[in-house]
Amino acid sequence: MKSKILRMLKERQTYVSGEELSAQLGVTRAAVWKAIGKLREEGYEIDSATNRGYRLVSCPRDRMTRETLLDAATYDGSMWKEIYYAKQLDSTNLEAKRVLLEGRGAEPGAVVCEQQFSGRGRRGRGWVSPLGAGLWMTLVLRPNLEPMKASMLTLVAGLAVSRAVEELYEIPATIKWPNDIVVHGKKLCGILTEMTTEEMRMTGIVVGIGVNTGITDFGEELREKATSLALEVAKPDEVDRLMVFRAVLRQFQSCYEQFMQTKDLSLLIDDYNARCITVGHRVRVEEGASAFEAWAQAVDAQGELLVRLEDGTSRTVCAGEVSV
Ligand code: BTN
């Protein structure tokens, strides 16, 4: 009911009477009044005037609740059906997998939390996820897609985050293949895509996205490697996780819809390559126990990195760790 009231107040942009709200929603005026009270507690500034009703003055900034997140996920043509919010989780990826396995809620959806105590990174690493200092989110998807193609969604998400950050802030958000978002040489965001399977069948895909928004001290180990929006933008006070969340969802939807048309990256790859800092550089590719150096030439529509070796031959790299 709170979201419906919010939507009506937003659409109208002026006073809406308690009588009209209660009639439209089929609830008592006392119930409307109670819901308005709850919205105010969540940080919505709602003016009330005798004989006129309620008017939405402002929405909370950077204040994550299921309500504010749902609101951010609601835009014209939005595909997002469910938002799961918790203050603390082991990992949003783990929670997203539980959601899929238990058949809880609807897809596509997103799991978001304020703090992860067991944040997961690539290659079995952890992911530092302090309270309130990042957007720790996982997209919950059940696409009609061959399991082999699931990893391409990582690149789709990378492109979406790069576009989202550049849309909101005047900073260059480049991509380090396959999926790190890098600002001025330091990592701003990491992405971890995982699959859920049942009896060898892929039942869903979770795309975990961790954007460092408010971290200002990464500690000795990460200081030279990691960054955050608060450290990069001109006005750190204005960094707003809800805005970032909304922009990421919108950009992801747009990229995802194009991806699903062809089930590869052909409609996205030009923009991806234009943002990719790996391309045009000499890279070191570590594959299991072996490593080699090569020139990165481009990323292809399958998401593989095309490299040229010392002897002039070319090959693609599909997994492994690449450093520029
Ligand atoms: C990487 O190693 O670069 C990937 C990091 C992915 C971190 C995000 S934070 C939200 C989601 N939940 C997790 O446990 N991991 C991903």
How much is the average pLDDT of 264-272?
98
- φ, ψ for residue 130 (rounded to 5)? -65, 160
Radius of gyration of the chain (CA): 22
Handedness of CA 108, 73, 188, 112 (dihedral sign): negative
Domains of the chain, first to last: 2-58 (1.10.10.10), 66-274 (3.30.930.10), 278-323 (2.30.30.100)
- Which protein residue has the closest C-alpha to ligand 1 atom 9? 210
Going by C-alpha positions, the residue among 149, 260, 253 that lies closest to residue 195 is: 149
Q: Is the dihedral of CA 201, 149, 252, 212 positive or negative?
A: positive
β-pairing verdict for 134-141 and 174-176: unpaired
User: Which residue's alpha carbon is nearest to atom 7 within ligand 1?
Assistant: 210
- Whether the ω angle into residue 178 lies within 30 degrees of 0, i.e. cis, is yes
> pLDDT value at position 61?
76
Q: Any idea what DSSP says for residue 62?
A: S
Q: What is the mean pLDDT of the chain?
A: 93
Ligand 1, atom nearest to 93 Cα? 12
Binding residues for biotin: 91-93, 116, 120-122, 187
| Predicted confidence (pLDDT) at residue 235 exceeds the cutoff of 90 | no
Task: Please state, for a pLDDT cut of 70, what percent of the chain lies above it.
Answer: 99
- Band of pLDDT at residue 319, cut at 50, 70 and 90: low
Mean pLDDT, residues 88-98 = 97
Q: 63: which residues sit within 8 A by CB, 6+ positions away?
A: 42, 43, 242
Best mutation site among 88, 112, 129 for ligand 1, i.e. most ligand atoms within 8 A of its Cβ?
129
pLDDT in tens, 1-15: 888 898 888 888 889
* CA 10 / ligand 1 centre spacing (Å): 34
